[in-house]
Structure 1
Amino acid sequence: MIGSRKETLMKLNPVLDKDGLLRIGGRLSSAELNEDEKHPLIIPSSSHVATLLVRHFHEQSAHQGRHITEGAVRSAGFWIVGGKRLVSSLIHNCVTCRKLRGKMQFQKMADLPADRVTPEPPFTTVGLDVFGPWTIVTRRTRGGSARSKRWAVIFSCMTTRAVHIELIESMSTDSFINALRRFFAVRGPAKLLRSDRGTNFVGACKELGLDTDKSATGKFLQEKGCAWTFNPPHASHMGGSWERLIGVARRILEAMLTKNAQTNLSHEILSTFMAEVMAIINARPLVPVSTDPESPTVLTPAMLLTQKASSVSAPSGNFSQGQLYGKQWKRVQHLADTFWKRWKMEYLSSLQKRSKWTNNQPNVKEGDIVLLKDAQAHRNEWPMGLIVRTVPSGDNRVRKLKCGS
């Protein structure tokens, strides 16, 4: 190591100036530059003076990157041996730079919850969200037409990935309960409801007053024997299974509205469009379409819901091909058994891989200072917070926490 440092200095041709300081002799003595640029002062990177110089010129250059900071140090007449590593280290630990350009904290992707991987009847466990609004014509008047808004509640089955959509007239508690009652009447009561406190649903929660302990919604759910689980705030990725389906529904509806641009949108027309959107989403393949001629059918949620075109009900029993021509209930059960076998072999195995967040990351700890991301504000305006409590998951990795100001 000593030999390597000596060789580095020899390449710089060091000389002593009149003050006894070590400077670079170099080969630029004939250049039209000032003395500091031709013969910079040599400073070892391990010295405290080098650290102070880099910090000073880093602030002078408005917290720019390594290249600009190192250029400012060199232009001032200082040659820091091993300066690249020192500059990179100081920029990495600079609080201002981390606030301006630091990456978001993440943890290794968690395992899927049990209700995503357990065969159950459709809509036993449901994720829901509210999206919209759309402006519709409610009635004709002498001056033109009266207009109002409509929203939609999407109910997504966590197991079969089927979708049910209900329109609501307002963001009130009564309107939401009516949509929930219609959903339970058509699809049957659910065992567990999941919803996201983040992004577009957090506003609906405030309007609906969704407190499962006190509100009318909570009383209604208690009567149905249904539990409600809320995801942590600002964690929309935990509801990604139904957030993605909202994007699909929006794209399908936009295509329908573009095709029918001349149609005055009414509640009846919007309700019809939503039913068609629901049918298109439920007819989507859950797994890549096979080119095998022995398996011509496509695995879709509609197979369970409509019991048409190789569709089914709930998993139970082993049935042979010959029983298809017997009683109708045996035919349905055979189709159900076929669906759930393919669901386990084809769909469930496709959930094994982690598409991102594949590596373990250090857990944040109580007492850490963090920057709280706010999608509605500029990064310079993001507030700082103190972690007051962490909530480790089953694998002892922290994915939920509580911050104080």
Structure 2
Amino acid sequence: MRVTCRKLRGITQGQRMADLPADRLSPEPPFTYSGVDFFGPFYIKEGRKELKRYGVIFTCMSSRAIHVETANSLDTSSFINALRRFLAIRGPVRQLRSDRGTNFVGAERELREELEGLDDCQLQQFLSREGCDFISFKMNVPSASHMGGAWERQIRSVRNVLASLMLQSGSQLDDETLRTFMCEAAAIVNSRPLSATNLNDPHSAEPLTPTIF
């Protein structure tokens, strides 16, 4: 009877949102704290062969900017190459969040093993002199894709843009065209306003976008 009364006369409970992680609120340069994920596959033509390619999205946890690379496969070496290209363009990263895909786990293990074999003192002095930090991988718990909403939502935005770009030439994609589309999609997503406040007011200031940062 007590359970029945609670069901009939109970007060609706409000869901409490957990506090944002510190790296979502840190006033650091863009991409200092980033998240990464793969998406795809995309099919390209190379002669008579049809090959798979994947997108690799890096998203800044604070400014919501994105950087998109392409990968030839889902293995660890392909991810490390995409990570190296990302770092060469966007600069050093302090922390990288991801899910527990085997490629990310393998990359984290490879980088950790390489660092363990180095002279820590000498390496730390070099990194401090260059203004760099070690990249720490912070992975979500297994089977918790909802914890990666920061980059999963960005993937959806990129896919929506790519769907329009590929409408005319989607069946004739090659490697170069796919990379071009990825760059154009990233530029469009990075041009979106970060807030919808006063967008329809002609006298309001120009809205902030990730490109500005």
Aligned to 1:288: 196
Q: Cα distance, 1:122 vs. partner?
A: 0.5
Q: Which amino acid aligns with 1:255?
A: S
- Count, aligned residues: 189
Aligned to 1:185: 88
In structure 2, the CA distance between the partners of 1:188 and 1:279, relative to structure 1 (3 Å rule), is: same
CA contact (8 A) 2:97 2:140 kept: yes
Aligned to 2:110: 216
Aligned to 1:109: 17
Aligned to 1:168: 71
In structure 2, the CA distance between the partners of 1:232 and 1:221, relative to structure 1 (3 Å rule), is: farther
Alignment of 1:206 with 2:109, yes or no, is: no
Specify which of 141, 144, 148 is matched with residue 51 of structure 2.
148
CA contact (8 A) 2:79 2:103 kept: no
Q: Which amino acid aligns with 1:184?
A: L
Which deviates further from its counterpart, 263-272 or 251-260? 251-260
* SS of corresponding position for 1:108: coil
Find the aligned partners of 1:245 and 1:251 in 2 and give their Cα distance. 10
Aligned to 2:175: 267
RCO higher in structure (CA 8 A, sep ≥6): 2
Q: 1:41-80 maps to which residues of 2 (within 5 A)?
A: none
Q: Cα distance, 1:218 vs. partner?
A: 3.2
Task: Tell me how large the CA RMSD over aligned residues is.
Answer: 2.5
Q: Cα distance, 1:114 vs. partner?
A: 1.1
Find the aligned partners of 1:221 and 1:166 in 2 and give their Cα distance. 25
Q: Which amino acid aligns with 1:218?
A: R
What is the TM-score with the length of structure 1 in the denominator?
0.43
Specify which of 124, 129, 150 is matched with residue 37 of structure 2.
129
Q: Which amino acid aligns with 1:110?
A: A
Q: Cα distance, 1:208 vs. partner?
A: 5.4
Find the aligned partners of 2:76 and 2:143 in 1 and give their Cα distance. 23
Larger radius of gyration: 1
* SS of corresponding position for 2:79: helix
Aligned to 2:207: 298
Find the aligned partners of 1:161 and 1:220 in 2 and give their Cα distance. 31
What is the TM-score with the length of structure 2 in the denominator?
0.80
Q: Which runs of 5+ in 2 are unaligned?
A: 8-14, 117-122, 124-132
Residue-by-residue CA offset, 1:287-336 (whole Å, 9 max, x unaligned)? 015244443412100112xxxxxxxxxxxxxxxxxxxxxxxxxxxxxxxx
CA contact (8 A) 2:98 2:104 kept: no
Q: Percent identity?
A: 46
Q: Which amino acid aligns with 2:188?
A: I
Aligned to 1:384: none
Residue-by-residue CA offset, 1:87-138 (whole Å, 9 max, x unaligned)? x85xx9xxxxxxxxxxxxxx73210011111211010000111111111012
Q: Cα distance, 1:257 vs. partner?
A: 1.3
Aligned to 1:31: none
Q: Cα distance, 1:259 vs. partner?
A: 3.3
Find the aligned partners of 2:107 and 2:81 in 1 and give their Cα distance. 17
Aligned to 1:78: none
CA contact (8 A) 2:95 2:136 kept: yes
CA contact (8 A) 1:168 1:176 kept: yes
Find the aligned partners of 1:300 and 1:155 in 2 and give their Cα distance. 17
Aligned to 1:254: 163
Find the aligned partners of 1:272 and 1:299 in 2 and give their Cα distance. 25
Alignment of 1:242 with 2:136, yes or no, is: no
Q: Cα distance, 1:252 vs. partner?
A: 1.2
* SS of corresponding position for 2:24: helix
* SS of corresponding position for 2:172: coil
Find the aligned partners of 1:110 and 1:121 in 2 and give their Cα distance. 25
* SS of corresponding position for 1:218: helix
CA contact (8 A) 1:171 1:208 kept: no
In structure 2, the CA distance between the partners of 1:221 and 1:121, relative to structure 1 (3 Å rule), is: farther
